[in-house]
């Protein structure tokens, strides 16, 4: 065991007596010790962890490039240890090992509102380290213990939520180098901790992964300097400064401007403010540590002079995962939507999958990653981060007897199973197995998966329905009251029962992969019972679903709860509902990942495109046309007047509703695995929405699969690359013969002629042509009413202008903006997928 390696040489956790009764946010603890190394050293390795977050140093130089180490796990079960090779940096003779330990997740405050707590895991920061010095005839150790001394330095306060204060005038010069006089420092004292919790780190470290220059710098009315980095991101601001000793500079982070100034509503109680006191010895650099923020804007106060663009950078920080998925189309708004999804994922993979990076929360909510998992596995290699997180989930599930709503669990009292949140114990391992094809994923998670599924079975009523206990339902459906986000149109127990049917099906599939025949039979019987109960309670013989809302139909279609004869009727009804809602969003966390897929599988891809391309709120593109650079938590996070939704639960960087990107990958791009790990695939892009080309690529465990298609005049070209050791069936879009081709590894190209050239609807089309399409006219009229002065009679105006191109008419109207023109362009062009038209746009 890892613990035995530390215990064998007497390594113990050590802390400072000064922090014994300290408070979260107090100064970070500085540790140091000196040791000798002989000339015949063969190798040296540092093994290190902390209660808090640690920065190690050797002879004055930073060890490694990991930040916020050891990351956040369920510390009472697993505290991660990293190893660093010191061979090239250990000197013959005297050496000094040093470390700074901040509060981090172990000591700092976590949670939000009335459940915010501090020191959940430990009452003070503590260090555990072991340096192994290997010689030809022996091994020597430098272990953390009483020979370590500890003191304080420039890090005067540190908090993940509130930021850091660094006073460079208080930094003890040379504290982490040989010869420093540490007689005024204290002897470190042992800190009690269960050493059996030590575990090897397997997930990618959190690192600085990118830097962004400022897009704009200006002075606020209050005299502060405001910097716009053009992107909502996770990380911090780095400054180059030059000013008198004692000058204090503060940097406060914000996601949004309201009336041209930073607004901090989305932070709730998180201060998100870093402070720096200059040493005054010439040019110096300020870069925070032991914290991170979610922000696009920085408000800087106290600068000793004007800020120059070259003196400020946003440092992007997250788990250093490998990018594996890309998508680009001919529609710039869709491209920005996809980039927003990517950035929201980056902002919420800081050690664990979180809900948001900016406010006093940043918790591992199970429902968010459950909804987003199919998108996450396409965009990045998430095995390291998510398998580590699932290890914590299983341990806390075993400890508490239930799957917590957040992992690691810092919210006591949430102890009832709930659909889409708790069932992540089953659905996430299955998604990971499907994408990576590794049976070990299922073996490692199987006990947790089966335990959860079995725990729900006794909660079912005699007919197989899940109709008791708390449920989140279709969380944040846009129709929900601001203060009751779970009060959605879809019945919460319909949602729960539908999700549990899918969970039981996936559980049976997992059991089959692992040759557990008895479990296959048991979980199949459970799924059949739930399906029968669902159909009896919620579905008519003709295929109508109780509640008559998009989420109810989408789940029934996607989760296989309907007979083949009911499927067509249900799909048609879902399309009717989506049209009735004006192609505006009517779904929340439960329905949004599935509604576009449900439309496509029932033959209504054109309606799915119109849903995706709608720009009028609530919609996927409304935030995009309003300048969003990440996915919002709620559809109305920013109100029409530009102010922040005052609900108290408003983040501008949540990835859950970005789950629509999975439809973009599999339908616009056309890439879908038909066996685990993409060993076999179906390549079937479905062009629409006025798109003239699209390309996607995904790095599977076998190599890269890529798909490109482009349409020009009456010609379609499709290019597909298939990796080694895989095969694919390629369904050519809009081919006159509905051609499909079985192909192996390599690059394949098809070019063919469509039977009819298309006359596209555009902003330059005459109003008369637009009016021939009832849905187009309704959408155009609605946009004009939204934007033009209220005294204008829009319908009469259009009737009088039938011969004019709409673009010419707009030139004659007051109040027309570029935003309005873009909204009209997208709305009109997405109607080129109308079922009346036989071919592609």
Q: How many CB atoms are closer than 10 A to CB 518?
A: 8
What radius of gyration do the chain's Cα atoms show?
29
Sequence length of the chain is 841
Distance CA 366, CA 111 (A): 15
How many alpha carbons fall within 13 Å on the CB side of residue 88? Answer: 5
Helix (H, G, I), strand (E, B) or coil at 293: strand
- Please say whether the beta carbons of 307 and 217 come within 8 A: yes
361 counts as catalytic:
yes
What tokens appear for 67 in the block?
Answer: 């930040």
Which two structure tokens, joined as six digits, stand for 636? 């109305």
DSSP β-ladder status, 293-301 and 225-241:
antiparallel
Residue 647's SS3 state is coil
What phi and psi, each to the nearest 5 degrees, are found at residue 584?
Answer: -95, 155
Question: Could you give the CA distance from residue 471 to residue 456 in angstroms, rounded to a whole number?
Answer: 13
Residue of 361, 606, 708, 829 marked catalytic: 361
CB 146 within 8 A of CB 188: yes
Question: Which residue, chain included where needed, has tokens 């496509």?
Answer: 600
Q: Is 633 annotated in the active site?
A: yes
Among the listed residues 271, 633, 823, 829, the single catalytic one is 633
Whole-angstrom CA distances from 619 to 329, 356, 359, 613, 615 are 19, 20, 24, 8, 6
Pairing of strands 225-241, 93-102: unpaired
121 forms bridges with which residues in the sheet? none
Distances from the Cα of 287 to the Cαs of 167, 313, 787, in angstroms?
A: 12, 10, 45
Counts of helices then strands in the chain (DSSP H, E): 20, 36
Closest CA to 506 of 409, 441, 599, 603: 441
Identify the bridge partners of residue 49 per DSSP, sorted by sequence position: 128
Catalytic residues: 361, 633
């Amino acid at each position: 065991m890892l613990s035995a390696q530390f215990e064998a040489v007497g390594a113990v956790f050590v802390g400072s007596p000064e922090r014994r009764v300290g408070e979260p946010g107090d100064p970070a603890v500085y540790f140091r010790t000196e040791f000798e190394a002989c000339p015949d050293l063969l190798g040296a390795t540092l093994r290190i962890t902390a209660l808090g977050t640690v920065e190690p140093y050797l002879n004055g130089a930073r060890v490694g490039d990991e930040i916020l180490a050891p990351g956040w796990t369920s510390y009472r079960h697993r505290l991660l240890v990293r190893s660093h090779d010191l061979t090239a940096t250990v000197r013959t003779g005297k050496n000094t090992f040093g470390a700074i330990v901040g509060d981090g997740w172990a000591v700092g405050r976590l949670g939000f509102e009335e459940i915010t707590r501090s020191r959940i895991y430990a009452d003070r920061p503590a260090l555990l380290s072991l340096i192994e010095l290997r010689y030809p005839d022996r091994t020597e150790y430098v272990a953390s213990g009483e020979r370590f001394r500890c003191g304080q330095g420039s890090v005067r306060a540190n908090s993940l939520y509130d930021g850091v204060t660094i006073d460079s005038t208080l930094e003890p010069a040379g504290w982490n180098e040989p010869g420093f006089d540490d007689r005024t420092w204290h002897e470190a004292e042992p800190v009690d901790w269960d050493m059996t919790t030590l575990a090897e780190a397997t997930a990618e470290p959190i690192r600085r992964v990118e830097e962004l220059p400022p897009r704009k710098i200006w002075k606020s009315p209050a005299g502060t300097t405001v910097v716009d980095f053009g992107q909502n991101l996770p990380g911090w601001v780095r400054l180059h400064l030059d000013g008198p000793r004692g000058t204090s500079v503060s940097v406060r982070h914000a996601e949004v401007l309201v009336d041209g100034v930073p607004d901090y509503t989305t932070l709730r109680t998180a201060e998100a403010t870093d402070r720096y006191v200059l040493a005054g010895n010439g040019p110096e650099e300020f870069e925070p540590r032991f914290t991170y923020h979610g922000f696009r804007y920085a408000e800087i106060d106290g600068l000793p002079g004007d800020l120059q663009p070259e003196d400020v950078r946003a440092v992007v920080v997250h788990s250093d995962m490998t990018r594996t998925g890309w998508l680009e189309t001919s529609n710039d708004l869709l491209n920005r939507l996809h980039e927003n999804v990517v950035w929201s994922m980056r902002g919420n993979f800081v050690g664990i999958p979180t809900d948001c990076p900016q406010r006093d929360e940043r918790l591992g909510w199970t429902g968010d990653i459950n909804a987003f998992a199919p998108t996450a596995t396409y965009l990045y290699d998430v095995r390291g981060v998510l398998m580590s997180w699932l290890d914590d989930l299983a341990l806390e599930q075993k400890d508490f007897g239930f799957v917590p709503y957040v992992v690691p669990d810092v919210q006591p009292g949430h102890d009832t199973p709930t659909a889409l949140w708790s069932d992540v114990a089953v659905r996430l391992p299955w998604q990971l197995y499907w994408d990576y094809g590794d049976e070990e994923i299922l073996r490692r998670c199987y006990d947790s998966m089966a335990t959860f599924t079995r725990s729900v079975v006794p909660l079912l009523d005699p007919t197989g329905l899940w109709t008791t206990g708390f449920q989140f339902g279709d969380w944040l459906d846009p129709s929900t009251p601001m203060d009751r986000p779970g009060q959605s149109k879809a019945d919460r127990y319909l949602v729960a029962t539908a999700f549990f049917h899918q969970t039981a099906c996936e559980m049976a599939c997992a059991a089959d992969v692992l040759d557990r025949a008895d479990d296959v039979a048991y979980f199949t019987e459970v799924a059949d019972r739930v399906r029968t109960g669902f159909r009896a309670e919620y579905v008519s013989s003709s295929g109508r679903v109780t509640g008559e809302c998009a989420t109810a139909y989408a789940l029934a279609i996607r989760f296989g709860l309907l007979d083949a004869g009911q499927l067509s009727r249900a799909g048609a009804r879902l399309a009717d509902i989506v049209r009735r809602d004006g192609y505006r969003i009517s779904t929340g966390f439960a329905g949004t990942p599935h509604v576009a897929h449900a439309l496509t599988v029932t033959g209504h891809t054109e309606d799915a495109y119109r849903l995706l391309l709608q720009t009028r709120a609530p919609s996927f593109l409304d935030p995009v046309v309003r300048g969003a650079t990440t996915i919002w938590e709620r559809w109305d996070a920013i109100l029409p007047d530009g102010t922040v939704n005052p609900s108290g639960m408003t983040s501008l960087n949540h990835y859950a509703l970005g789950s629509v990107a999975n439809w973009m990958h599999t339908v616009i791009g056309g890439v879908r695995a038909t066996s685990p790990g993409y060993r076999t695939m179906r390549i079937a892009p479905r062009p629409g929405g006025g798109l003239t080309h699209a390309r996607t690529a995904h790095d599977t465990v076998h190599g890269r699969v890529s798909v490109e298609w482009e349409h020009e005049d009456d010609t379609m070209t499709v290019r597909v690359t298939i990796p080694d050791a895989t095969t694919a069936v390629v369904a050519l879009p809009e081919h006159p013969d509905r051609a499909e081709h079985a192909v192996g590894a390599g690059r394949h190209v098809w070019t063919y002629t469509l039977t009819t050239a298309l006359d596209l609807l555009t902003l330059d089309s005459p109003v008369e042509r637009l009016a021939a399409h009832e849905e187009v006219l309704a959408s155009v009229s609605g946009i004009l009413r939204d934007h033009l002065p209220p005294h204008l009679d829009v319908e009469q105006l259009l009737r009088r202008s039938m011969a004019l191109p709409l673009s010419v008419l707009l030139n004659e109207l007051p109040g027309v903006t570029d935003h309005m023109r873009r909204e009209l362009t997208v709305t009109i062009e997405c109607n080129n997928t109308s079922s009346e038209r036989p071919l592609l746009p």
